[in-house]
Amino acid sequence: MIESGKKKFYLFLLSLIIFSLQFETLPLPVKVQIIPLTSILVFFYIVFMYERVALTPVFATFFIFFIYVTLHSIVALNVDIISNLGEPIRFISWVRQFLALISGFLIFKVLRYLLRYVDIYWVSKRVVIFSLLSIMIGILNFIWGFLNVQIAGELVKMIRSFIAPYGYISPIRSSGLSLEPSHFAGFIVIIILPALLIYWRLHKKRAILILLFVTLSFFWTFSMAGFVLLFLFTAFAIVLGPQRKYAIIAGFWSFLLFIFALFFFPNTQIIRHLSTMIIGNLSISIIDRFYSTFGPFLNLFSSFNVIGYGLGSSVYYLSEMIPKDLYIHIISVRWKELPSLGTLVGRIFAETGIIGLFLFFSIFAIGYSQINKLIKFEKDKVLKTHYKIVRLGYILSFISLFFLFGSFHQPYFWFWLAIIDSMFIKNFPHYLYVQTS
């Protein structure tokens, strides 16, 4: 009875985390642009997680990365404090980024612990059902903007003001419960679509209906980054997915959806991005996304990027991390009080150096090898299909860190990584265990 009650409690906690994935902002009196609800919950959950930790290759590498970044950032911070550079903003920025790093680690650790009680279908079903809240807001946004139904707009504003007050709210683009439309599009492609594919195998008619709503919500984001992710999703599905014929069909319909957006909605963000690319004058948004990742590499030999400036250092060293002719463009769209690079890959390289970047890429590579091993040795065809879909979500969540998401406490990558590591432990349970809390 005790074990049964404990399991039910943990399933409740896991359900709350899955529900929280769609919330990127919260009505909190804290001056932070992005506060995913998931990143808050895990700080409370950790008190329940007394466990023996299985030292899988992924967990061991992640822990090494965490320790390295922590020690590296403390040394860098003390050097700046001794040099009296950027105080007190430099310290405040370090605290914020260190908390984000801890949050990312806890998201992975807590999910990894709770997922031991469920299978992939259980998780996918709840992702699909719980995400209907943000999808319905997307549909209301479409009704508000396309059909000009003002009461739909009032509902969107009321819901957002109550549970997700910060971020983009407009009739012309939907952002769900995310900070901006591109992040909502990313959530749909990275989290909802893979879960919906797994859910579809047992509930085809219901899944098709939900897919129509999801497609409409995604379409109304008019996000160039979202379409890039969608095209990449279908491309990887053709090469690595379980049913390549359906992936090709999905790719064809995705292309038609993009063409439809171009010709029937000529005044959207997509058109503006493409127009600037055609004339060779990139929009600020594209410059920010591209050079937030690759700018630090372009400045490799004229800065300390190869060593790393330390967590939170971009608030003071941003002009040194990237070429100076790009700095004025990127700073124009960054948060003025605490500016930073807009992508996690660029930030990791500039702030933790080549060693930190290598360790982070190693986390992805080892996770990828683990999901491949699961696929290779799984005899059940249904589970093998599920693992292949998980692999797609995992790949897309990693790619999104190059041009869409820029914080350690964004939960999407850690979500898929935790699923992979949890399933790996169940199937290959021969590891050194250490007691922890």
**Does 332 reside within a domain?**
no
pLDDT in tens, 256-278: 999 998 888 877 888 877 877 77
**Does 331 reside within a domain?**
no
pLDDT in tens, 286-326: 888 888 999 999 888 777 889 999 999 988 888 889 888 88
| Whether the Cβ atoms of residue 404 and residue 225 lie closer than 8 Å to each other | yes
For the entire predicted model, the pTM comes to 0.94
**Does 191 reside within a domain?**
no
Structural tokens at position 228: 């890039």
Tell me the residue type at 433.
Answer: Y
3-state secondary structure of 97: helix
**Does 48 reside within a domain?**
yes
Q: Could you give the number of structural domains in the chain?
A: 1
Position 32 scores a pLDDT of 58
Tell me the residue type at 29.
Answer: P
| 433, pLDDT greater than 60 | no
pLDDT in tens, 15-74: 999 999 999 988 776 655 678 889 999 998 887 776 677 889 999 999 999 999 999 999
Position 1 scores a pLDDT of 45
C-alpha distances (whole Å) from 160 to each of 31, 41, 175, 210, 281 are: 18, 20, 10, 22, 35
d(CA 136, CA 156): 9
Average pLDDT, the chain: 90
Structural tokens at position 276: 């600037």
d(CA 124, CA 129): 9
Which residues lie closer than 8 Å to 266 by C-beta, 6 or more apart? none
pLDDT in tens, 111-153: 999 998 899 999 999 999 999 999 999 999 999 999 999 999 9
Position 375 scores a pLDDT of 96
pLDDT in tens, 136-195: 999 999 999 999 999 999 999 999 988 888 889 999 999 999 999 999 999 999 999 999
**Does 139 reside within a domain?**
no
Residue 15's Cβ-count burial label (10 Å; 0-12, 13-18, 19+) is middle
C-alpha distances (whole Å) from 130 to each of 158, 186, 195, 196 are: 19, 17, 11, 12
Structural tokens at position 327: 């700095």
d(CA 339, CA 319): 10
**Does 120 reside within a domain?**
yes
**Does 421 reside within a domain?**
yes
Domain of 75 in residue numbering reads as 2-130+197-212+265-272+342-431
**Does 280 reside within a domain?**
no
3-state secondary structure of 51: strand
pLDDT in tens, 337-377: 777 888 999 999 999 999 999 999 999 999 999 999 999 99
Tell me the residue type at 352.
Answer: T
| Whether the Cβ atoms of residue 347 and residue 341 lie closer than 8 Å to each other | yes
Position 86 scores a pLDDT of 62
